[in-house]
């Protein structure tokens, strides 16, 4: 009973202890939670900067930072609850903002914070900047502050005419254009009527003639204004203002009407090739009859206008023509010309006005015939191209359009990289050259070295192949393509024997020919260009030999080796051909006896006094390597292995 009582007491004390610890932790946590600091307790600089401003965002004023931000954690980082405008629209819904069909680009594709400060601002609506300067963050200021500025823009700013977020009207206008203008400009006013020649312009669009913001012209007329508009002489083209069809055109056809002032012959200036819209009297296809922000009353900038019809000329290309970027009128006339395609001058003359240095190539010794005849567009696209040098259709296809035999002739196993990649200009000048075949440099080191510079580096220590040393690259190689490896002009064997003809004769009369010679693979052993070793060898013997005879190399490394085999294969063998089998330099045993003294007592004893002249050394010995110290072959006759030659041979004693 006493033991049970002690256990119960210990258990009870332990339970009380853990209960106290738990309660202490819980109370401590609660105390920490109730004492958690506010964001602005740490972000004091933020408080100083924003809370004293005239307009403070409601969530900031209420210190409800977590309305927009996630809690930072240990590392202070700006983490918004949602991305971009979605966060703002969680409170400022589209319904509350009264969103309309046409939305301000800054709101649709940008961020609310482009215009508004999300925390506080001295300006109304939390704007970052006041008035026009806010709009000038995106809209070019100079377009709105020209010589003559619309009065309302100076007095009331952009918001007088435009909505800031969205509108039912294009350009975010607060109401349709004409009623908006008439809300300030009284159409019944005598000055208004006089300025417009008493025409009922209140029924038309004011921006046909006027810039609504600013202009360098008086009365806010657009940059380029038709003279009858400037002088309020609308009746020069239109019916009288007091008729039912006051804005009707007098002559009916636009071309005939324009022709009363703009004489056709003057515009042609002797040109016989006419632009179709001009020829058909469709002046308004290019020109605005009233006013325009483009020169010459053009409906659009020159290139955009031209590309409306000639869309292919406006396509983005990798290699654009600078003249096109400067404007189509750099090369073409707008109404009529004496040259085809409305060119200002003949093709040659017009190209050479910019490309004067290129013209000098016509004086070269060899001139490319299209260039000599100034047929620039035979090879080049005058409007730009996706190929280098503005080639019409890739350099290779452009060249093949005339040199069609080359396209089939170059379809071989090995093709020179510039040919394969369509880079004819890597070797040839498309205009003129002092070298034959229009080469950009003399054939040989100067030309080939532009790509193969490392190969052609000279070294005093090198042995140089004679054709290579003289720069006769084309004696061995085809410049375009070949069916032979290395782009050589013939198979390797025939090519080498062109110069080394004596060896060709010897091959026919030889008993044995080295396999690389037989198969025409001279470069297995020799460099065709230059090398540090005599005879242009790629390596010294025996390394060069063992590069092919790998099994022999392994045996020499692991077994007892014949010293000549380990030292220099040419001690016994000839490198190219021989009258003896196995390319031996002499017959066996004569070859062996050059080193082994047949009259020596040890030799005679070892060979049981057999006459050396009748021996075939390789019948018993391996000439290269063997596991046997005497270089005996791997498989030998049993009596021979036991050195019991007399079991078979009659041994003569001397």
Tens of pLDDT along 36-60? 778 888 889 999 999 999 999 999 9
Segment 68-112, tens digit of pLDDT: 988 765 555 668 888 878 899 899 998 888 899 999 998 888 789
How high is the pLDDT of residue 652?
63
- CA 179, CA 206: separation in Å to the nearest integer? 10
Q: How many Å apart are CA 203 and CA 200, to the nearest integer?
A: 6
Give ∠ CA 209-211-216 in degrees, rounded to 5.
Answer: 105
Q: 188 is written with which tokens?
A: 């019944």
The answer on pLDDT for 243 being more than 70 is yes
Phi, psi (5° rounding) for residue 461?
-85, -10
Enumerate the H helices of 401-491 as residue ranges.
404-409, 417-420, 445-448, 466-469, 473-476
**Nearest C-alpha neighbor of 442 from the set 481, 482, 486, 474:** 474
**Residue 17 pLDDT > 90:** no
pLDDT tier at 268, thresholds 50, 70, 90: very high
Q: What's the chain's average pLDDT? A: 90
pLDDT tens figures, 165-192: 999 999 999 999 999 999 999 999 999 9
Provide the pLDDT for residue 1. 41
Q: Give the whole-angstrom CA distance, residue 4 versus residue 530.
A: 105
**138-141, long-range: CB within 8 Å, 24+ apart, which pairs?**
138/105, 138/106, 138/114
Per-residue confidence (pLDDT) for residue 638, from 0 to 100? 85
State residue 178's pLDDT score: 96
CA distance 10 to 16: 10
**Do the beta carbons of residue 644 and residue 638 sit within 8 Å?**
no
Proportion of the chain above pLDDT 70, given as a percent: 93
**Token pair belonging to 185:** 């400009």
Amino acid 3: pLDDT: 47
Distance between CA 142 and CA 127 in Å, rounded?
22
Confidence class of residue 254 from pLDDT cuts 50, 70 and 90? confident
Would the pLDDT of 521 be above 60? yes
pTM equals 0.70
| pLDDT confidence band for 2 (50 / 70 / 90) | very low
The alpha-helical segments, DSSP class H, found in 131-247 are 132-135, 151-155, 177-182, 190-195, 227-230
Confidence of residue 14 (pLDDT cuts 50, 70, 90): low
State residue 4's pLDDT score: 46
pLDDT level of residue 31 (50, 70, 90 thresholds): very low
- The pLDDT score that the predictor gives to residue 529 is 96
Ranges 25-34, 225-234, 496-505, 619-628: which has the least confidence: 25-34
pLDDT at 420 over 80: yes
Q: Residue 184 carries which DSSP code?
A: T
3-state class (DSSP) for residue 103: strand
So what's the pLDDT on residue 110? 73
Average of per-residue pLDDT across 248-276: 91
pLDDT digits (tens, 9 = 90+) for 338-368: 999 999 999 888 999 999 999 999 999 999 9
Secondary structure (3-state) at 380: strand
């Amino acid at each position: 009973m006493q033991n049970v009582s002690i256990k119960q007491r210990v258990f009870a004390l332990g339970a009380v202890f853990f209960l106290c610890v738990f309660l202490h932790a819980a109370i401590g946590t609660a105390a920490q939670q109730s004492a958690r600091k506010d964001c602005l307790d740490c972000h004091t600089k933020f408080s100083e900067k924003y809370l004293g401003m005239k307009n403070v965002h409601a969530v900031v004023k209420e210190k409800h930072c977590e309305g927009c931000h996630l809690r930072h954690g240990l590392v202070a980082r700006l983490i918004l609850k949602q991305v971009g405008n979605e966060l703002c629209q969680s409170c400022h819904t589209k319904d509350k903002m009264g969103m309309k069909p046409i939305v301000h680009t800054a709101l649709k594709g940008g961020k609310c914070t482009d215009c508004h400060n999300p925390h506080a601002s001295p300006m109304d609506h939390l704007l970052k900047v006041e008035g026009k300067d806010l709009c000038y963050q995106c809209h070019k200021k100079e377009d709105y502050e020209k010589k003559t500025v619309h009065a309302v823009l100076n007095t009331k700013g952009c918001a007088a005419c435009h909505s800031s977020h969205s509108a039912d009207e294009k350009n975010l206008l607060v109401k349709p254009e004409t009623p908006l203008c008439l809300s300030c400009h009284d159409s019944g006013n005598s000055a208004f009527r006089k300025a417009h020649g008493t025409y009922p312009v209140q029924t038309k669009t004011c921006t046909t003639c006027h810039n609504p913001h600013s202009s360098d012209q008086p009365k806010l007329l657009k940059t380029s204004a038709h003279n009858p508009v400037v002088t309020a002489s609308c009746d020069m083209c239109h019916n009288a203002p007091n008729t039912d069809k006051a804005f009707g055109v007098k002559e009916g056809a636009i071309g005939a009407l324009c022709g009363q002032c703009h004489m056709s012959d003057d515009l042609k200036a002797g040109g016989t090739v006419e632009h179709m819209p001009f020829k058909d009297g469709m002046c308004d296809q290019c020109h605005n009859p009233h006013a325009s922000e483009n020169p010459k009353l053009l409906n659009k900038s020159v290139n955009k206008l031209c590309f409306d019809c000639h869309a292919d000329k406006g396509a983005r290309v990798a290699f654009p023509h600078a003249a096109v970027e400067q404007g189509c009128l750099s090369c073409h006339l707008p109404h009529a010309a004496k040259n085809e395609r409305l060119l200002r001058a003949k093709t040659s003359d017009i190209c050479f006005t910019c490309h004067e240095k290129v013209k000098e190539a016509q004086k070269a010794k060899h001139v490319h015939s299209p260039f000599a005849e100034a047929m620039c567009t035979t090879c080049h696209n005058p409007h730009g191209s996706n190929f280098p040098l503005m080639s019409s259709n890739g350099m290779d296809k452009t060249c093949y359009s005339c040199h069609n035999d080359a396209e089939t002739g170059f379809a071989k196993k090995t093709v020179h990289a510039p040919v394969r990649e369509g880079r004819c200009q890597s070797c040839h000048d498309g205009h003129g050259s002092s070298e034959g075949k229009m080469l950009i440099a003399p054939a040989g080191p100067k030309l080939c070295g532009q790509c193969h510079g490392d190969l052609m580096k000279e070294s005093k220590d090198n042995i140089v192949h004679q054709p290579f040393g003289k720069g006769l690259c084309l004696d061995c190689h085809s410049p375009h393509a070949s069916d032979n490896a290395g782009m050589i002009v013939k198979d390797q064997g025939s090519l080498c024997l062109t110069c080394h003809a004596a060896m060709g004769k010897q091959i026919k009369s030889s008993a044995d020919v080295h396999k690389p010679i037989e198969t025409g693979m001279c470069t297995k052993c020799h460099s065709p260009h230059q090398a540090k070793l005599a005879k242009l060898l790629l390596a010294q013997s025996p390394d060069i030999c063992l590069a092919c005879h790998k099994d022999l190399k392994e045996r020499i490394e692991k077994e007892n080796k014949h010293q000549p085999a380990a030292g220099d294969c040419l001690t016994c063998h000839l490198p190219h051909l021989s009258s003896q089998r196995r390319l031996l330099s002499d017959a066996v045993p004569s070859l062996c006896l050059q080193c082994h003294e047949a009259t020596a007592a040890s030799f005679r004893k070892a060979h049981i006094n057999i006459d050396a002249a009748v021996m075939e050394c390789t019948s018993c010995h391996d000439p290269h390597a063997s596991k046997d110290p005497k270089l005996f072959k791997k498989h030998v006759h049993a009596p021979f292995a036991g050195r019991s030659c007399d079991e078979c041979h009659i041994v003569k004693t001397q």
